Amino acid sequence: MGKKTRYREIYDSGFNAPNLILKVKVTRFLVRHSVRLLGFKKAAHLLAVILFFMRLAVNSNNTIYIKYILMINKLNAEYLYLLSTYDMLKAVSKKNSWAEYVNQNSKSTKAKCAAKAYLSLISRHGFYDMHNAYDSVIHSSVTKRKSDLKFYIYGPNSKFTPNKKYKDYIIIFLKPIDLDITHFKGSILFINGIFYRNVVSDNLILRNDLIKKYEQIIVSCRTSIIRDPFKRAKFPLGENIAGCMGLGRLLYNLLMSHGVFTCVIEGFDCYLDSEMYSSYYPSLARDKNFLVDEQVICSGLAGHDPLFNFLYLKEVLEMVKIVDSRALKDIVKMTGKEYLLELSKVRKFETLQQQ
């Protein structure tokens, strides 16, 4: 696959948002193509100018929503520009302004809750001052349940084949990998929506092969039709503002389904390895030369928010019994600032500007 990720305008979802009326569709088209043609900085300036003149417009419900779309995309463009120039802490500050604006102006309950959750999480780690912040990313009632299950989460950067030392564990993959796993206690495949839609959903032969190999297949996708025996994942709170990525979503699902469990986590480096994904790992971020496209990786990080994703993972890992897994343990010992600094040394965020 390996196609560049192009800018898509953001807007509130839900039945009450008038996203398909002509004026709003024109606004969305304008936002999308102004960013693609002008780049983040110039497009943000253009949207600011439009907002300035729109102060004179009569405030109907549709006009208010159009102003809202222009503002959140302006803030997003400014955030992406700061990220692409490695001004990481200013990028966080800009994201805070974006979350504050959504919390105060959105008509979507989901968007407002996601903004509050984002601000609450980063507040607990010193990036924002929020009164009445939530205590945790997962309600305490979940962690009161205990499970005897043990999981071996085998990630995209594992350097060795699955370790038979953990044969009494249930092994979990985030992509289907051609490895013998018959000696493990059980097996789970946890795939994201993009991989499901592009590779699995219409491939009957592959679907049947996966059903034969894995005892459980969970699809992290909100929109596609998921047919048995495939199961739809549970979703942690997330929206345009931020959202956790693969490992965080998997751990959330395991906690929600089983309560506190024991796990080994191998081959996850929080995007701090310059060589993304081992050769065996079937990532759609690879280009025609089978190289991982850095722009696709950085766009995915930016869309989910790297700081939010890291801090979410840091908190969730405190809720499980993690054994061995030294490499990941060392990474999540870092503070948010230390993580952003290390990330900026490895990832090529300037590629974000390749729209």
**Of 245, 242, 216, 238, residue with least CA distance to 313:** 245
Two structure tokens written together for 223: 């929109």
**15 falls in which pLDDT band (50, 70, 90)?**
low
Two structure tokens written together for 147: 């499970």
Residues 330 and 257 in one domain: yes
**DSSP for 240-306?**
TTB---HHHHHHHHHHHHHSEEEEEEES--TT--SS-S-TTS--TTB-TTS-B-HHHHHHHHHHH-H
**288 falls in which pLDDT band (50, 70, 90)?**
low
Alpha carbons 253 and 258: distance in angstroms, whole number: 8
Residues 98 and 146 in one domain: no
Residues 108 and 184 in one domain: no
User: Domain for residue 2, yes or no?
Assistant: no
Residues 40 and 152 in one domain: no
User: Domain for residue 135, yes or no?
Assistant: no
Residues 91 and 230 in one domain: no
User: Domain end: 70, 94, 124, which one?
Assistant: 124
User: Domain for residue 317, yes or no?
Assistant: yes
User: Domain for residue 168, yes or no?
Assistant: yes
Residues 205 and 90 in one domain: no
Residues 105 and 161 in one domain: no
> How do residues 77-90 score in pLDDT, each as one tens digit?
999 999 999 999 99
User: Domain end: 97, 124, 151, which one?
Assistant: 124
Residues 84 and 172 in one domain: no
- List the domain range (segments joined by +) for residue 169: 140-353
The total domain count for the chain is 2
pTM: 0.93
The mean pLDDT value for 307-320 works out to 95
User: Domain end: 124, 154, 171, which one?
Assistant: 124
Q: What is the pLDDT of residue 134?
A: 72
Query: Which amino acid appears at position 140 of this protein?
Result: S
Residues 54 and 79 in one domain: yes
Residues 145 and 52 in one domain: no
The pairing of beta strand 260-266 with beta strand 186-192 = unpaired
The pairing of beta strand 216-220 with beta strand 186-192 = parallel
